[in-house]
Structure 1
Amino acid sequence: MLLQGPAEPGDAAFRDQQNQGDAAFRDQQNQGDAAFRDQQNQGDAAFRDQQNQGDAAFRDQQNQGDAAFRDQQNQGDAAFRYQQNQGDAAFRDQQNQGDAAFRDQQNQGDAAFRDQHNHRDAAFRDQQNQRDAAFRDQQNQGDAALRDQQNQRDAAFRDQHNQGDAAFRDQQNQGDAAFRDQQNQGDAAFRDQQNQRDAAFRDQQNQGDAALRDQQNQRDAAFRDQHNQGDAAFRDQQNQGDAAFRDQQNQGDAAFRDQQNQGDAAFRDQQNQGDAAFRDQQNQGDAAFRDQQNQGDAAFRDQQNQGDAAFRDQQNQGDAAFRDRNT
């Protein structure tokens, strides 16, 4: 075995040079690691910024789509309410026109009935006045004929009286008594006949009045029945129109809600599809970024391993040369 001599100053200098080279190499490796981590951190930050910008842009696009969809829904609601209000106004106008026409028809019927009633009253009063005038004329003619007959009898009696004597006066007295009896009987008979005619005329007037009132009452009852039937038919028609209009409104409301629900479902499906596509794109980007990081890590580790192997080869060569020199 060869004996080694005492260490020479060149050995210490070589080890110092090796130690300095190791320290310099470790510093270089540490700087390379720090630079690589900084580069990775910057890449991570840039990728997160890009993801955050994409998320913000996607949320803005979703919010704009939501706002546009709500505006479209609100416009549809406003248009539907406007259409409903116009339909309500048109229906009320139609009802008011029908009411006004029905009231005009009722008023015309009432006026025609009152005119007919007034004409009949006037005709009846004219007929009564004519009957009263004819009766008074007949009474006046009867009174005049009776007075003429009395005056003739008075003249003949006065003539006979002027010729008279006691016998004539007796006869006059007897004649006067007989004449007064006859006059009283004639007056009584005439008054009875007048009373009977007055009673018969009043009965006839009362019967005519009763018959006219019955006829008027029947016509009034028939007119009120016709009026009530017209009112009932008009109310039935109004109620049917109201029911048909409410059914049409309810159908329109249901169709509009169905259309809104279909639009909401389609919009949610579109949002869900957009969310799924965006998540797929994010996942693909994350996988590609991790693959790129893994490839970079592998290349950096290969470079570090190559550098370590070259440094170890250089150290081994230096150690071999040092041993060869010391042998």
Structure 2
Amino acid sequence: MSKTRLGLFLGLLTYALWGLLSLFWKLLSSIDSYTVLSYRVIFTCLTMLIYMLLSRQEERYKRELGLFISDKKMFGTMVLAGFLIATNWLLFIWSVNNGRATEASLGYYIMPLFSIFLSLLILKERLNAWSMVALGLVGVGLASLILQTGYIPMISLTLALTFGLYGLIKKGIPLSSDVTMLIESSVVLPFAAGYLLFFSQTSLAEVGLLKALLLVSSGVITAIPLLLFSSALKLAPLNVISFLQYINPTLQLILAVSFFNEVVSPEQWLSFSFIWLAILVFLIGQIRTFRQEKKKVS
């Protein structure tokens, strides 16, 4: 198997695991979402510490952590990134466990295009015609949902916004994915521990063996896809891997409708249709750009 094919396989596996995560969180639906998030943060931090100890890359970790501590701008950026990703995690867990997984999947469908919109708005990046049309179709899809139902899909928009901003502010951060995950979970760790100590009504001893094991394993469940994705990017180009990203929300939607028995209204299906069309237009534009760049290289 070539490196590119192996990278594509790892990318496919990564997005499939992210798409199936809602099944994992659904098993913990009897526990309040803040408690689940708090355990996830704590055990993610612990998992990454163990991983770093076992990987025996002390010099790299010392260098990157030293850079993080000494650079005030990077320090502030990573603190903000930690809170953004924690907010995203919390909202997704809450959505799955409160019958709103469909809205979460909508958020993850529009997330890549929302990231492009933020780049246009904040970084003043120029977009090609395909991306502009795709953004317009997303706007039409969301507008049709709001006008027909009178309901603003705040879950979808907040998931897209938090992850879009998370990706935006981390552009140019010269830290590896394992180090950033450790830092981001460490940033939120005091708040997670404080919630469990003073506010949570549930302890590991009270939830039963199965759910206790699930909470403990939430760190591993969080870390594995990220590490697989990092390996995939080393083997295959990002613009190739990115074509797989819509596997995640597609699996989320299938699970929401087929396994969680959520009902999707006609208005929601119409909104999804516009967004799927936007994704198709966007992907056609990406393919054309990819081919043009390939021709230039050759």
* TM-score (normalizing by structure 2): 0.18
Choose between structure 1 and 2: higher helix proportion: 1
* TM-score (normalizing by structure 1): 0.17
Which structure has the greater CA radius of gyration?
A: 1
Greater RCO (CA < 8 Å, at least 6 residues apart): 1
